[in-house]
Structures are given as structure tokens and as C-alpha cells.
Structure 1
Amino acid sequence: MKANPSVMRAVAVNIDNKTKDFGIDAFVDVELEIPQLKPTDIRVRVKAAAINPIDLKMYRGAKNPGTVLGWDVAGEVESVGVDAKLFQVGDEVYYAGVVIRPGGFSELQVVDEKIVGSKPKKLSFVEAAALPLASITCWEALFEKMGIPQGGANATLLVIGGGGGVGSLAIQLGARVAGVKVIASASRNETQEQCIAMGASAVVDHSSPLSPQIKALDFKSVDYILCLTDPAPIFADLADIISPQGKICCLVESSVDLPMNLLRTKSVVFSWEGAFTKSLFRTKDMITQHEILNRVSELVDAGRLKTTLSEELESISAINLSKACRKLSEGGVVGKIVINGFN
């Protein structure tokens, strides 16, 4: 029987799974209408997609049938919108997308070209899919929010939670692009080893008070802190560690209101980073995400950055997506889990 040319395969959230765990009923294999292009969109044939904490959060909040997750994608341009100028059919690309549109666990995905970059030539689609969301997040946090100079900065950066996909890239960007001395935090042997492999000069254990550990490394304070975990339990530590006129950037929503007055005497700058802010609000500088991803591709192809892929699953399916989400939700994942495209 001839396949229906107007539909595509995808993996959707099973909203009938009342437990909201990641058992065999968490997702369903479905067929959906092929998404249509807006003027500045490109339509991408998905070759690989990675799993992220945002997928877990959106899964638990999903209420609509057919919700498709997936915010780390690599693929090949299949068609372009009438006003799209950055890419041509056949180009290999990678991107994070935007959470108000369907995600990448589908055969085809539509995305605005201004948040898409050219895939690193030296990486496979699977290797490349581990990078876009972390690349945007870390680049914006380090170089836009905290304003760390690129190249030869005589400064120190503390990365809280350095063993995951975002932390692994933050360490690389700090050490190899900004040229700062990077201290990372990790609580297990394998994540500590990952931090050193990514370029950290030292590792501290965030399951114990941080301030005495930093001082034991002969640092009176650090100039920049990138916090990739809930800042509330360690905020007093961060306020003690940060240098006068230093900068702190956080990614994860705080579980309680933060005591910001702790930063006042040192005149510390505090900011939030959200990789989807520009695409959600279609900010005037949205095109910078295209530029960031292209710059990261150049750095990867030059051998200065490497993929944070840690595990590859064979093909996009409900079973494999459940497996990946379950692993991530249990904690302890080092780097990124990426699922190959459809068989």
C-alpha cells in the first residue's frame, strides 16, 4: 500500500498515561500532518534528536493530544519558506527550535531559519544533535549575560553542575574560548572525570559546602558563576564565593525567593538565562542564535570544541524515547543521550 504523502511519523506524549512516569505507556508512535511553512521557516528532515530536562518538564505538563517533544535536533533541509534566505534544500543543519511549536521527535520539523545553524562538518548528525541547546544556553550565559571576554581573560569561572550536557559545554567554552580558569562542581567520580576531560582546572563537590572547598584551592573568590542547578540551597555559598563586582547567571528556576540582598554589598550582577527567550518573544536579536550556532560549528570543525554525546539510541520511537527520559529523570547522565532518526 502506498504511503500517505501528507503525513509523517512522529512520537507524541500519551496524555492518557495518568502516572506521568516514563514507563512503556509514556509515549505513542503516531502519524501527523506534515507541518506547513511560514515565510521565514525551513522544513527539516530530522536525522537525530537529543533528550533534555526541558523534555521531562514539558512531558509532565502536556495536555494536548499529539504533543511532540525534542529541542536538540540535527537534520537536512527539505524545503524553505518564500522569505527564507539563509539555507538551501540539502543543507545540513542543527538547532534547538522553540517550545511553542512541535519538537523534533518527528520525521519532519518546521523551524524559523533565524535560530538554525549549519551543522559542524566533522560531526555526524547524532554527534551534532548533542550540541545546539547547550551551545545557545552557554554562549548566551557566558558571553552575553555575564560578558566574559573571549580569549585570554585573566579570570575564574565556577560552573555548578559541570557533568551534564550543558555543563560539559560551558566548561569547554570557558576554558578553550574565553581562556578563563574553570572550576566545576560534580558529586560523583564519573562526572568529576567528565569535568576534567572537558577542560576544568579543578573540581569541587556540590553535595558539600562550596565555600571552604574553593578556599582550599587557594582562590579567595571567583569572578563568574554559572549555576545549572536550583540556586536556592546554595545561594549563601554563591554570595560568599563571588568576587566583588562579579557576575552570577542561573538557568534553573529557584525553588524559593532568593535573598538578593546578600549580593548588594559586593555590587554583584545577577541574571537569568533562557535559551528559548529570543525565539519565544521573537526579539530583535533572534538572529544571534543562528550566528552562535555557526560560530560553534566553526570551533568544532577547528578542533577547539567537541560533542558532548555520551549515549546513542538506535532510532526515534516511543520505546526509545521512554528509555531516554527514564534515564535522564533518574539522574546521573553524563553528557547527552541522542536518539538516531527513524528507521
Structure 2
Amino acid sequence: MYVQYGNSMKALVKYARGNGNMEIRDIPEPKPGPGQVKIEVKAAGICGSDLHIYHDDIDGIPINPPVITGHEFCGVVVEVGEGVTEWKPGDRVTSETAYSFCGKCHYCITGYYNLCNNRRTLGYWYNGAFAKYTMVPHERVHALPDSIDFVSGALIEPLACITHAVLELTTITVSDVVLVQGPGAIGLATMQVAKSQGATVIVSGTDVDAERLKMAKELGADYTINVQQEDLSKFVSELTNGRGVDIVFECSGVGRAIDGALNVIKKQGQFTQIGLFGKPITIDFERICYKELKVTGSLGSRWTSWEKAIQLLEQGKVKTKPLVSHQFPITEWEKAFEMFESKQGLKLVLLPVED
């Protein structure tokens, strides 16, 4: 895909299919080819899908080992390839993950290239951001405003996925009462995007989420509820005079949360699934029919999602830095992955290391 320098860099590589098979390796430093932008990575977030790549149980997005992992990042342009005129060394940037797609199918032509059957993704199929440098097509790059620090900027990718779900796939208005299930980093960012539209937002969690529910209040949630300590249905009924919530954003990725959501959502309400379950789940689909619910899933992001995410950050309507609980050098990736898997901390970020 690109020529290489003689210098090397440390990178976190999924080197073969199967559970595990990931390690830090010395990789030749890349040099951009035509149309490519070389970015010095300043910070890169760990996503749940990185754990799925590690365990080789990800479904629906193809991986192509050996590949440098990591896809949530921002940094500084250090070099551009032939034909690139809109970016120059020193530019602060972030990048989409949709590295390549066919450009010819219905979804690509209409701007929904996130759904292209031939989409290939940074950190899955092409070398990603858990390294000192990464390479992306110039068309996928977005400017990072000076007002957004690098740690905050590393979370623009998940925020873009959220803006796609909340602002592009769901109709949300100032009069809506919204339930966000799951106060992880995705849920807390979803809450902030919903609040930016003037909605009244409830964030729900469980006993293990005590600190996260506290942060939800600090970041602007109108109400928080521990569903293991309080009755969610009773709470919502009293708040909405028996009507139910207008919208549910399911961010927990826990199957049993669906039952609670279907109980409290109003008739003709909207249900948007953001979290991934990682396995098939069982739901009572007849309740969707009886309530005439509008249900949608959400996959990835589009160009417009990124522009909206960056604008929300720049305007201060969403804050991502408070979601980052720990930062590690990529050489300590195993500790970070173990923390992520055991649900310690909130959002974990890896930082490149000098050779």
C-alpha cells in the first residue's frame, strides 16, 4: 500500500487470526504514496471492537492480519503523498476509519459509504493508529481545531458514530424525554449530544455504574437511575405522566436492557441501538409491533457525522476529555486491555512511544 523508510516504529499488531495473537512489534516507518497523508499519532482511544479483534470474535467487519490495530485517533500531518494539496505538514487532524469502499454502489453514491459491502476499515484491514505514525487517504481527513486538545480529539471517531445515530438516524426535538441506557463513554457522550438538542435526558445504569452515573449528572444529565435499586418503569411513568419516554438510545450492549426499554418507551416512540451485544439476543418483538415503534440500528459514521461531532466539541456542547480515565503508552497495551475488559475506568487512551 505504501513504500517504507529505513526507520522503524513500535506498533501494536494483530499478527494472525485466532484468539490473542497480538503484540508490540518494530514496524518499518511508512512513507505516503499518491493521495495519502502521513499522520503522527498523538493519542488513540481503545474501542470495544479492538478487544473483539484481539479475541478474533468480531462479526460483520473483516480483518486482515497482520495489521496494526487502533482506529480512534488524532495527530499532526508530517508528510503528504503526490497529488495531495489540501493538507500540509503541521496541520492538526483526525481521520475517518472507512479507509476504502467501492464508490459505485447505491450506498456509496448516496453518501452512506459506511454501509458499503466493500468497505475496508483502518485498524482492521489497513494499518491503524496504535503506532507512532499512520497513513490515511486524504479524502478521509478532517481538520482538528486548535481549541480541541489531542486527548479530546482522539474520541472524535466514537463521537462521530454517536452523532450519526442521534442526529442522522433519529429525530430528536427539544420536547423529547430521552432514555440513555448504559453510562459508559459511549452512553455519556450520547447523553451530551441529546442534551445539545434540548432534550430532557435520563441515564440508566446498574450497581457497578455508581461513579459513571455520578459523572453523567456532572456532564448534564437531567436524571440518573440505578435500575437495580429503583424501578425504572415507575420512575419513567411518574416523570412522563404515564406516557413513557419518546426515545431510547441503547448503549449498554446488554440484552436484558432491551426488556426495560420496551417497557418504558411510549407508543410510536423511537428506539436506536448503538451498543453492540457481541452475540444473538432474544427480544419480545411483538411489543415493537403493539407500540408501533420505530427501531433502527447504527453502524459507523459518514462525512457529515464527523463534521457535526467536531462542531459540537468546538462549541463546547460535548466534552470528551472528562471521559478519559486512563492514559497508557502502547507498550502497556495488555494492562489497558485487561482494564477495559474488566470494566475498570471509563475511556482508555494509548499514547505512542519513541523508538
The answer, yes or no, to whether TM exceeds 0.5 is yes
State how 1:17-32 maps to structure 2 within 5 Å: 20=20, 27-32=22-27
Q: Deviations over 1:51-102 (max 9, x none)?
A: 1111101111189653322121011112334454553332111235233322
Structure with higher RCO (Cα < 8 A, 6+ apart): 1
DSSP 3-state at the match of 2:256: helix
Q: Tell me, in whole angstroms, the C-alpha distance in 2 between the residues paired with 1:78 and 1:107.
A: 11
Q: Tell me, in whole angstroms, the C-alpha distance in 2 between the residues paired with 1:265 and 1:185.
A: 24
1:214 to 2:236 alignment = yes
CA pair 42-258 structure 1, distance change in 2 beyond 3 A: farther
DSSP 3-state at the match of 1:232: coil
Task: Mark the runs of 5 or more structure 2 residues left unpaired by the alignment.
Answer: 58-62, 98-120
Q: From 227, 248, 255, give the equivalent of 2:271.
A: 248
**Alpha-carbon deviation of 1:106?**
1.2
Q: From 257, 263, 287, give the equivalent of 2:303.
A: 287
Q: Tell me, in whole angstroms, the C-alpha distance in 1 between the residues paired with 2:166 and 2:238.
A: 25
Map of 1:139 onto structure 2: 163
CA pair 245-19 structure 1, distance change in 2 beyond 3 A: closer
Map of 2:107 onto structure 1: none
DSSP 3-state at the match of 1:100: coil
Map of 1:123 onto structure 2: 148
Map of 2:289 onto structure 1: 264
CA pair 186-13 structure 1, distance change in 2 beyond 3 A: same
CA contact (8 A) 1:96 1:132 kept: no
Q: From 296, 313, 337, give the equivalent of 2:327.
A: 313
CA contact (8 A) 1:73 1:96 kept: no
**Alpha-carbon deviation of 1:232?**
3.0
Q: Deviations over 1:280-336 (max 9, x none)?
A: xxxxxx432xxx33333333233322124423435222xx111111101001432x1
Map of 2:261 onto structure 1: 238
CA contact (8 A) 1:244 1:267 kept: yes
CA contact (8 A) 2:249 2:272 kept: yes
Q: Which runs of 4+ in 1 moved over 6 A?
A: none
Map of 1:322 onto structure 2: 334
TM-score, length basis structure 2 = 0.78
Residue identity over aligned pairs, in percent, reads 21
Q: Tell me, in whole angstroms, the C-alpha distance in 2 between the residues paired with 1:60 and 1:80.
A: 34
CA pair 116-239 structure 1, distance change in 2 beyond 3 A: same
DSSP 3-state at the match of 1:5: strand
DSSP 3-state at the match of 2:53: helix
Q: From 120, 129, 132, give the equivalent of 1:107.
A: 132
CA contact (8 A) 2:127 2:134 kept: yes
**Alpha-carbon deviation of 1:136?**
1.3
Task: Kindly provide the amino acid, as one letter, of the partner of residue 10 in structure 1.
Answer: A
Instruction: Name the structure with the higher strand share.
Output: 2
Q: Deviations over 1:234-261 (max 9, x none)?
A: 3232222112221111121453243322
TM-score, length basis structure 1 = 0.81
Task: Mark the runs of 5 or more structure 1 residues left unpaired by the alignment.
Answer: 21-25, 279-285
Map of 1:229 onto structure 2: 252
Map of 2:60 onto structure 1: none
